[in-house]
Structure 1
Amino acid sequence: MKAPVPFDEPARLAALHDAGVLDTAPEEDFDDIALLAAEICGTSMGLVSLVDSDRQWFKAKVGLDLNHVPREFSFCSHTIIGHELLEVPDASADKRFSDNPYVLNGLRFYAGVPVVLDGTYAVGTVCVVDREPRKLNKAQRRGLRSLARHASVQLELRRYARHAGDIADRMRQLDRMKDSFLATVSHELRTPLSTIRGYLEMLLEGDFDGETSRRFLGVMQRNSDRLLRLIDELLLVARLTDEAMELDVNELDLADLTHQVTTGCRPLAEHKKVRLRDHTGSPVPARGDAKRLTQALNHLVVNAIKFTAEGGEIIVTAKSDGEPEMTITDNGVGIAQEDLPHVFDRFYRCASADLMAVQGPGLGLAIVKSIIEAHHGSVHLSSEPGVGTTVRLTLSNR
C-alpha cells in the first residue's frame, strides 16, 4: 500500500533540500549512527535515509548494497507521516506492506524513527531492517529514538555550516561592494572638484579676456552641477534607507511630462550625435508626483544617451494601455545577462559603464525603482548586448 503524502510536503522537501546533504559522500558521523542502530536492535541492516520526492536515498547504510529505493516501495515514506516510531514486526502479515516487492523478496522486519528538522519536518529516518520477524524491546526503541535525534542534529549542523559559509561569502561580497563604492564616490567627488580648482587657479593667476573667463566659469558651473547631482542622489538614497519616499501626488499628463524631459535632454543627445525621438501623442492622464517622475524619466533618458553610440537612436513614448506607462528604447551597447539581476542594486555599476567610461556611482536605477514603486508601479527592463535596452515604467491607476 502506497503511503499518503505528508500534509506539509512542499515545506518538508524544501527543508530537506536546504540541508544540502542529498547525494553527498559517506560521512563517519552518519555511518556510526547506522552501525549503532543495527547493533542496538540486533538487525542485519541499519540505515540513515532521506525521503526525497520520488526516492528514499541512503546517507548511511550497514548490510545493504542499494543507494536508494523508489519512494512508492519505501517503508520510511510511511514513517515520515508523523513523528513517532513505526515498527512492523512481520511485514508479510501487514496489509500495508504484504505486496511490497521487497517483502515478497524476503524482507520481514522494519522499525524506523523520523529524522526531524526545525522540530517540524520529517525529512528521513534512522531505521533498521531484517529478514526475520522480530520485536524491539523498550531499550532498543529508546536507543533508536536517540540515534534519530542525533541524526537530526547532524543535519542541522551541516545546514548551519553551509549557511554560515554563504553568509561569509555575502559579507566578503559586501566588503568588495563597499570598497568599490568608496572608490567610485571618491572619484566622482574628486574629479569635478579638481576641475573646479584647476580653472579657479588659472583665473586667479592669469589675466584672461572676458570670453575666456566666461568659458572657464561655464566649466566650473557644469562641474558644480555635477557635484550637486551626486550629493542629491546620495542624500536621497540615505533617506530611502530609513523611511518611505514622500510624494506630492496630483493629477498630471504623462505625455506632457515625457515631452518636457525629451526636450530638455535633446541638446545632450545632439552633442552625442544620437537621435532622440519623442513618440508621445494624445494625453496620458495619471496621478503622481511630477517632480519625482520627471527625475526618474530624465535619468533613464540621459542613461540611454550615455550608452548609445554616435548615430544611434532613442525612442521615448507615453501611453495608457490599461495602466499609464512610459517606455524608453535605445539601440545602444546593451547589458550583459550576468549584470541584469543587479542593475537596480544600489552602487552597482555594470561592465559596460566602465567600458564606455560613463560616470556615476551606480545609484540612478535604484532611485528610479524607488520612485516608481512609491507610486505603486513597476519597472521592467530588458536588454541584449549589442542590440539595445528597453525600460518600461508602469504606474498604478489607484
Structure 2
Amino acid sequence: MPGMHAISTQRSDFQGLDMKAQVHPLQEARLAALHDYGILDSDFEDDFDAIVDLAAAICETEISVVNFIDAERQWFKAEVGLGVRETPLETSICSHAILESEFVEIEDTLQDSRMKDNPLCTSDPGLRFYAGALLKTPNGLPLGTLCVLDPNPRSLTDLQRKTLRVLARQVMALLETRRAFAMGEVFRREADHRIKNSLQSLMSFVRVQSRRIGTDTSAETVLSGVNARIQAMMKVHEQIYAEDGSGWVDLRDTVAPICDGLSQMAPGGIRLVTVLAAPRVQAKVAVAVGTFVSEFVTNSFKHAFPGRDSGEIRVEIAEDISEEGARILLRCSDDGVGLPPDASPSTGLGSNLMDLLASELGTEIVRDTTGPGVAVTLTFNSRGS
C-alpha cells in the first residue's frame, strides 16, 4: 500500500546525525537467533499482516509494524501506513526500544532525548507517538518489536498496552511455527534421501545374493520378489524427495516409474498397461499405493500366467469428484488363470501385505475373482487413513 508518511530508506540521508542506538550488549547472539528464524526478506504473509492491521485498529494509530533489527537495518515483516520494507538503523526508534525491557511507550517523541532530533519525528507530519512490545526469543533475546506509531502525541490505555503485548507473543508464536515447519521439512528430505540410499544398498545386496543361489528356483523367486518390492519403494521415495516439500505428491508421477520398472521385469509376452489419472495425495498415500501396485503386479507375474506366453496386467487410477468430495479409485487386474475354486482370496504373504496397505489408506480391498483373471479395487481419499 502507499505509505502515509515519507520515510527515507537511504542511509546517506542521515550522515552526520548522531541518533543511532547503541549496539545491544548481546548483539552477536541476538543476530544469530534472528537469522536462525529465516524470517528476513521473506514475502508478506497473511497471518503477520492481520496482526498489524489489528494492532493499528485497537490502538487507533495510523501506523503499525512488525519489525526486526538486523545488523545495519530494520526490516519490516508486516506494516500498515508506511509502504516500505526496510529503513536504516540511523533513524530507527525500535533499535532503541530493544535495549529496554518488555514494553516501550513514548507519548511525545520530541520530548524524548533520543528522538528529539530524529528527522522522522521532526518532519511534518512526523512520528510523534511510539509504543512497542518487544519480540523476544524463549531465552529472552530481543529480535525487534511489534509497534504502533502516530503523528499525534498521545498515550495508550491499559487495554491497548495489554493487547499489544498479547499480539507480540502471537508474532513470536508464528515465528516458532515457521521455523518448526522449515526444520521438519529439512529432516523429512534428509530422511527420504537416506531411505533411498539404504534401499539402493539393499537392492544391490539382493542382486548379489540372487547370483549366488544358482539353481535354487524357490529362493531365486523370493529374492526376485524382494528386489521388485525394494525397487518400487525406492521409486516412491525418489519421487517424494524431488517434490516441493509441501508433503503432497502427484500420484501418477509416483506410480508411473514404478510400473515402468516392473514392465522391464515382466515375463516374455506379458504386458503391463497403465491408465493413470494424476490426483495430488499425501506422501504416505503415494508410498502405500506404490507398494500395493508393486505387490499385485509381482504376484501376477509369478502366478497368473502358468504355461502361457501372453497376457495383460492393468493398473488404473481414476479420480471421482462428487458432492461428498474427491475419491481416488485404484484398480489392478490381470487376465490370467484366476484363483483356484477352493482358494481363499486373502491367503498368502502378498495378500496380507496388500490388506495392510489398504488399511493404511483407510479402506478395504474389493476383490473380483469371477474372471477372467483377478481384479482388486481400492477407493480412498488423498490423505489416507
Normalised TM-score (structure 1): 0.46
Q: Which has the higher helix share?
A: 1
Name the larger-Rg structure: 1
